[in-house]
């Protein structure tokens, strides 16, 4: 097995939620970096070119939809799979996320850490 861990960029402004997901993803063998607002998230995506982005929608500076839009129109980042991880569960939000190019839309309260990790692995395997 290679030491080449998959890099996940977690864009989440709640430090407790961030820590929980970071710990869970690292235990599953991923390398995790983070951004606590939308602008930093876009910049980190462009700098680090992670294997996947987990994106909250309610963010300071730029919201998650704006972040997703920017990532998907940029040549350098448009192929990075993005999973929205949000508390917003309205159908209109889910449809908007999917229309903007998100791979998946997970409502935080509906998914356990194990399920989130399984989704991440699934989409990374699909990307190969």
Structurally, how many domains does the chain consist of? 1
The answer to whether the predicted template modeling score (pTM) of the entire model surpasses 0.85 is yes
Domain annotation covers residue 111:
yes
Domain annotation covers residue 96:
yes
Assign 2 a pLDDT band (cuts: 50, 70, 90): very low
Domain annotation covers residue 2:
no
CATH number at residue 13: 3.40.50.2300
Residue bearing tokens 């930093």:
40
Range of the domain at 14: 7-127
pLDDT of 3 above 60: no
pLDDT of residue 126: 87
Domain annotation covers residue 43:
yes
Domain annotation covers residue 38:
yes
Nearest to 88 by CA among 73, 72, 68: 68
Domain annotation covers residue 65:
yes
Q: What SS3 class is residue 9?
A: strand
Q: What SS3 class is residue 116?
A: helix
In tens, the pLDDT along 47-100 reads: 999 999 999 999 999 999 999 999 999 999 999 999 999 998 899 999 999 999
Task: Please give the angle made by the CA atoms of 104, 34 and 65, to the nearest 5 degrees.
Answer: 40
Q: What SS3 class is residue 86?
A: strand
């Amino acid at each position: 097995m290679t030491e080449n861990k998959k890099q996940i960029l977690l864009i989440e402004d709640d430090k407790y939620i961030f820590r929980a997901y970071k710990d869970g993803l690292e235990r599953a063998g991923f390398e995790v970096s983070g951004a606590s607002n939308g602008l930093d998230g876009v910049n980190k995506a462009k700098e680090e070119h992670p294997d996947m982005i987990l994106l909250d929608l309610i963010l300071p500076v730029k919201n998650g939809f704006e972040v997703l839009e920017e990532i998907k129109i940029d040549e350098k980042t448009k192929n990075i799979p993005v999973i929205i991880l949000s508390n917003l569960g309205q159908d209109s939000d889910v449809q908007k996320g999917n229309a903007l190019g998100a791979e998946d839309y997970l409502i935080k309260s509906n998914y356990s850490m194990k399920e989130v990790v399984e989704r991440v692995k699934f989409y990374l395997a699909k990307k190969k």
